[in-house]
Amino acid sequence: MQAIAYWLIYPLLWMLSKLPFNVLYVISDMVYILIYRIIGYRKKTVRYNLITAFPEKSSQELKQIEKKFYRHLCDLFIEMIKTLSISEQQLRARMTYTNIELVQNYEARDQSAIVILGHFASYEWSFAIQLHVKNTGHGIYKKIKNPYFDGLARRIRGRWNTELIANKFAAKRMTKNQKDGIVSMYGFVADQSPRLAKSHYWTHFLGHDLPFFTGVERISKELDLPIVYLKVRKTKRGHYEGTFIELAKNPKEIPDYEITDAFAKTLDSQIREAPQYYLWTHKRFKLLGRKQQSAGKDKTD
Q: What would the pLDDT profile of 159-215 be if each residue is shown by its tens digit? A: 889 999 999 999 999 999 999 999 999 999 988 888 887 888 999 999 999 999 999
* Closest to 272 measured CA to CA, from 231, 237, 242, 214: 231
Domain map of the chain by residue range? 2-300
Strands of 185-189's sheet in order across: 95-97, 239-248, 227-236, 113-117, 185-189, 137-141, 162-166
Decide if 142 contacts 150 (C-beta within 8 A). no
pLDDT at 198: 80
The stretch 142-154 carries a mean pLDDT of: 87
Q: With CA atoms as reference, report the closest residue to 223 among 263, 267, 170, 273.
A: 170
Per-residue confidence (pLDDT) for residue 299, from 0 to 100: 42
pTM of the model: 0.92
